[in-house]
Structure 1
């Protein structure tokens, strides 16, 4: 056996560095992944809840009521975008996902302030979102009178009554289990599709398919269609475990839930197909899948409060399919919402799927040329 040689070792190191320099995608991942993680965790991820969309139902119409709303708005926790006239409007806006909370000021607000024997105001919150519950609990610890400049008397706390809709027991699985359907599908569908198509190309099987009369669109759709069934099986498995193990209720229609899951699966598969046209090897496909999965799980509102992110991060999150599917699945499963209530999120998923399929087909045709 030859003795260890630094010269031969250095030759191997130089070879690998040159190979890495020629592999532009892997080199970009080396720089891009840590940069993306640093920016996401250091800038976009913020545990402080801010700018939650909210509504006000002011039945008192007094100076103190208006001052209370103004003081709460200055805290920047809630953005009171809607002024309502009836309690029925709260249910409609919350079911559509347009508000996370609603401040209800009763007609006898002034008398409640004077008596101090019961809650002066009521905060109705979307209990399907733990972040909103956390913000509401912080608000419940305040005394309403300390927020009103003319009334700085020492008054017991607890003057804000919190009403949790859709999750009165404040159980964490009701928030996390439905969202896990989207997280699991994002990870598996994108990865499986991208790696499967790249593997076919590495083995030379695509050359045989190219010789057939199949068009690029037919070939693309035909390769990913079996994964639609796999995705529906995974969604069903997570849903059954959620219902029977974690006692998660399904309040909406199953047809709406599976329809949303089907559109989301198509969107994920379209992304996977597009990534397969960029990758030259299965390792690169794995890198690209991870590169798209990380920002989705961090910015979608699954792990960190969406309202605490800067506006630029929220705009970026709106481009990801997982953000819209989490809103869809929480709305259908927990708030009994339908497509009529959540059509914006469904339209965003359809648009994403259409764009990714178009780009993938164009790039696939280009590679064939």
Structure 2
């Protein structure tokens, strides 16, 4: 019995040696996880994007701004003309914190019983909102800590409800998993069933085959978006403050990028099982580096650069902007073009690799 068991085990080891993809994932998945969780994921959020509107413009107010910037809680990147512009920057997702210092700042400092300024906080991310509120207890330069330095005002999610933050981003997570998996399996299934050889003999070009394969899945993805929005609205009372048409348009761009990634995966996989393995391999960094689970601002700069290449990062910003903040898609254009570039690049890569494998 032991001899037979050892024979089967030896056969399995030899098979794993020949299966380079499985062997690579045995090593690659643990390494990827330890690197992502140990290096890229940091719950101690720092340098939250902020803007300031200083209507006092005194020496003490400038010291206060410098002190807030030096705290590393926020990173003041721009100035605003007033609360209206700060709110506009919040709506478009360009900042997460707005600092407003009123004209009677000096009088408030002397009074000592009123907040000397106001914090406008993006509450769509509860972690960022909690960190930003720490500025309220920051002491004035050269003075002891006050009871309340800034009066915080939270927008979009003042109740701090987790579904408001999670569900809009969850649309992208579900779309990424299903769209990449469906298309990765689609081409491999054609190869396993022998249908690919039949398609080669037709006048259909590789690019036409690729586009034809992904077209039905665009509609499937939009149906999934509809289902998620309806359920989240009904069960979790997640607001839909923006245009549903904008949400569908943003979802379509993300679906196209995910489908292009799935087609590229299919050119590396030989079986449907390998296609599923590679899909999981692409899913892990996407969910961890996109800002879905962990605040994007808390990641090291190198991890943020990688995250900017991931389509899910941009869709998370789009979905939260449209659903939670009510932002028009035109104001979020800087999140659209990376999705289009990603789609174009990976469609070209998939088409070229598809032709190479057919030869």
Which interval holds the TM-score relative to the shorter structure? over 0.9
Moved over 6 A (4+): none
Query: Shift of residue 72 of structure 1?
Result: 1.3
Contact 2:135–2:149 (8 Å) recurs in 1? no
Q: Which SS does the other structure have where 2:331 is aligned?
A: coil
Q: Count how many residue pairs are aligned between Structure 1 and Structure 2.
A: 359
Contact 2:207–2:351 (8 Å) recurs in 1? yes
Q: Which residue of 1 aligns with 2:16?
A: 20
Distance 1:266 1:340 in 2: 19
| TM-score (normalised: structure 2) | 0.96
Which of the numbers 304, 312, 322 marks the counterpart of 1:332?
322
Distance 1:88 1:123 in 2: 13
Query: Shift of residue 5 of structure 1?
Result: 4.1
Q: Which residue of 2 aligns with 1:148?
A: 141
Contact 2:73–2:132 (8 Å) recurs in 1? no
Distance 2:162 2:23 in 1: 40
Which of the numbers 233, 240, 244 marks the counterpart of 2:234?
244
Report 1:1-369 matches (<5 A): 4-6=1-3, 8-140=4-136, 142=137, 144=138, 146-149=139-142, 151-152=143-144, 155=146, 157-369=147-359
Q: What's the RMSD between the two structures over aligned residues?
A: 1.4
Structure 1 stretches of 5 or more lacking a match? none
Worse-matched range after superposition: 232-241 or 200-209: 200-209
Distance 2:325 2:282 in 1: 29
Contact 2:74–2:132 (8 Å) recurs in 1? no
Q: Which SS does the other structure have where 1:55 is aligned?
A: strand
| TM-score (normalised: structure 1) | 0.94
Query: Shift of residue 105 of structure 1?
Result: 0.8
Query: Shift of residue 74 of structure 1?
Result: 1.2
Distance 2:298 2:140 in 1: 23
